[in-house]
Amino acid sequence: MTPPEDIAKTISDTCVDKAALPLGTMAGLGLLAGAYIGFGSLMAALLGAGTAELPYGPVQIAIGTGFALGLILVLLAGAELFTGNTLMTLPLAQRRIGPARLLRAWSVVWLANLAGSLALALLAIGAGIHLAGDGAVAASAIDLAAGKAAKPAAAIVASGVLANVLVCLAVWMAAGARTAVDKVAVIVPPIAAFVALGLEHSVANMSLLPLGLLAASASDLALPAELSWASAGANLLWSTVGNVIGGACVGLGYWAIHLRRG
């Protein structure tokens, strides 16, 4: 593994390059990341299907492990993920990028992630994935979405902080891994942990929430009272706030430890 101080330098260089990407490239890679994380959401819904009689903990770990597919695809295939890009706070603190460039990157990638996530959710419903297991996958998707939509704003923010600390640590460790196998090995545990703990990741929710809403519309299953497009939008707002704080904690923390001068 790469020494921690060298990882901090690598992350800083990578974030500077990401912030300077042309608009079209940034948007295209953001679309891909939304879709890739969406594949993880589909795995989560599948692995959660028909598990009501099984122990909660092992089921959650299985769901989280399946969801890790999304970040593996983002980091190994290459894509722009909003939550990972909150680490741009590190080069911001170094004054290697300015606030305008950071906000441009965050805004473009967040919107592109949303578009990619929605496209993936629509394709999944069109393919009939929600009908698998005699509708068990639809029920699982609805249950996942309803649980997220029911949380109050303060809980979503706090949960978003914790979620993106784990996601950014996965990105951080993957930057120090030397092979694809090593990268997968360090990505899976923190991603499995945040999903198993039921934490809020804005880009994951960009596909998980629409999947639940669309699955209810496309099946005979009832839509829970707490789940609506309005509650989904509120969740995305507050989880984004929490994710920014969590990512900033990791980026600024390692900047202060390894890269701050004077």
Angular region, 204: left φ>0, alpha ψ -120 to 50, beta rest: alpha
Determine contact, residues 33/74, Cβ cutoff 8 Å.
yes
CA count, 13 A, side-chain hemisphere, 127: 11
Structure tokens at 91: 């080069």
pLDDT tens track for 35-90: 999 999 999 999 999 887 889 999 999 999 999 999 999 999 999 999 999 999 99
- Indicate the DSSP class of residue 88: G
Crossing angle of helices 56-67 and 180-196, rounded to 10°: 140
pLDDT tens track for 93-124: 999 999 999 999 999 999 999 999 999 999 99
- Residue 19 to residue 33: CA distance in whole angstroms: 16
- Residue 214 to residue 210: CA distance in whole angstroms: 6
- Please state, as a whole number, how many other Cβ atoms lie within 10 Å of the Cβ of residue 100: 9
Angle at alpha carbon of residue 111, lines to 221 and 80, rounded to 5°: 105
pTM: 0.96
pLDDT tens track for 4-41: 899 999 999 999 999 999 999 999 999 999 999 999 99
pLDDT tens track for 203-248: 999 999 999 999 999 988 889 999 999 999 999 999 999 999 999 9
Give first-to-last CA distance, the chain, whole Å. Answer: 28
* Residue bearing tokens 């890790």: 68
- Residue 3 to residue 234: CA distance in whole angstroms: 40
pLDDT tens track for 175-190: 999 999 999 999 999 9
3-state secondary structure of 58: helix
- Residue 99 to residue 101: CA distance in whole angstroms: 6
pLDDT tens track for 119-130: 999 999 999 999
The residue ranges of every structural domain in the chain are 4-259
Per CATH, domain 4-259 is 1.25.40.10: no
